[in-house]
Amino acid sequence: MPQVLTEQDGHVLTVTLNRPARRNSLTTSGLSRLADVWQEAALDTSVRAVVLTGAEGSFCTGMDLRGLAGDTGDEDGAAAADRAKTDPGFAYRGLLKTDRPTKPVIAAVEGHAIAGGLELLLGTDIRVAGEGARFGLSEARWALYPAGGGVVRLSRQIPYPVAADLMLTGRHIGAAEARQLGLIGHLVPDGMALETARGIAASVAANGPLAVEAIVRTLRHTAAMSEEDAFAFEQPDVARIFASDDAKEGPRAFAEKRPAVFHGR
């Protein structure tokens, strides 16, 4: 059974973590496939937004600790191990730690987003969660380190004392608290996260793709910059976008009171 499923509807690609028997925990082969999916999404001009979710009521519970203890249940583990010899960074790319697709990623969370699952979530851009979702970085409880970007990103995305509390105690929080902290942006009834995320993705995908990608790039790369440096970073994109055909189509469609048709050029 594939550990990662993909389905494209129009300009929206849905990526589903698919190990429901183990609450969509991650294996090396699953991360290998995710790394490829992100690269494929970045290169595919027909993809303008990506939805990331988990199968059968759970988002992701991180690395499969049973697998680390020897019970992998990973039929493709040998192939991933071979890949690691020549491409040791694929796991971090799969987790969205060291590279992210140029397209916005919208997370749809039901159930658990724990450990590596939360680290994966921290690499997404827009986040929707069901009311019963749970979040946490509990690696320290098992004498492990959140190496998928969690220590750095969580402390930058929510208040530092709360991030330290979550990581050092290993406790989990509910969706309502996560929403209050700004860890997620949309709180919906259980079972509605995917539908809501797809609706958001469709709205994003209907916008000018060059503008969307440039906004994503600036958001991701300028957080630690001064305003002056950030403005300099965005300027080449500003010039390129305003000179594009899409930038002419948008105002024309507005004036003509019709939907815009963007071609990404």
pLDDT in tens, 200-259: 999 999 999 999 999 999 999 999 999 999 999 999 999 999 999 999 999 999 999 999
Residue 69: pLDDT band (50, 70, 90) is low
By DSSP bridging, strand 112-114 and strand 134-136 are parallel
Residue 67: pLDDT band (50, 70, 90) is low
Domain 4-205 adopts which CATH fold? 2-enoyl-CoA Hydratase; Chain A, domain 1 (3.90.226)
- The CA distance from 119 to 150, in Å, is 5
Nearest Cα neighbor of 22 from 91, 73, 70, 95 is: 73
Please give the CATH number for the structural domain made up of 209-255.
Answer: 1.10.12
Stretch 92-106: mean pLDDT, rounded? 97
Report the catalytic residues. Answer: 119, 139
pTM, two decimal places: 0.95
Give the model's pLDDT for residue 1.
Answer: 84
Percent of the chain with pLDDT over 70: 96
pLDDT in tens, 14-38: 999 999 999 999 999 999 999 999 9
Average pLDDT, the chain: 95
How large is the greatest C-alpha to C-alpha distance in the chain, in angstroms?
A: 63
User: Which region among 72-86, 115-129, 161-175, 186-200 has the lowest average model confidence (pLDDT)?
Assistant: 72-86
Give the model's pLDDT for residue 79.
Answer: 85
Q: Please name the residues in contact with 205: beta carbons below 8 A apart, sequence gap of 6 or more.
A: 10, 11, 12, 48, 49
Residue 13: pLDDT band (50, 70, 90) is very high
Stretch 90-118: mean pLDDT, rounded? 97
Confirm if 60 and 116 have CB atoms less than 8 A apart. Answer: yes
Whether the predicted pLDDT of 130 surpasses 60:
yes
Q: What is the enclosing helix (H) or strand (E) of 107?
A: strand 105-109
Give the model's pLDDT for residue 72.
Answer: 58
Give the model's pLDDT for residue 161.
Answer: 98
Residue type, 71: D
Q: Is the dihedral of CA 12, 17, 20, 24 positive or negative?
A: negative
Residue 76: pLDDT band (50, 70, 90) is low
- The CA distance from 6 to 190, in Å, is 22
* Tokens 């039901």, located at residue: 110
Where are the chain's structural domains? 4-205, 209-255
- The CA distance from 265 to 247, in Å, is 9
Give the model's pLDDT for residue 9.
Answer: 97
Whether the predicted pLDDT of 58 surpasses 60:
yes
Whether the predicted pLDDT of 184 surpasses 90:
yes
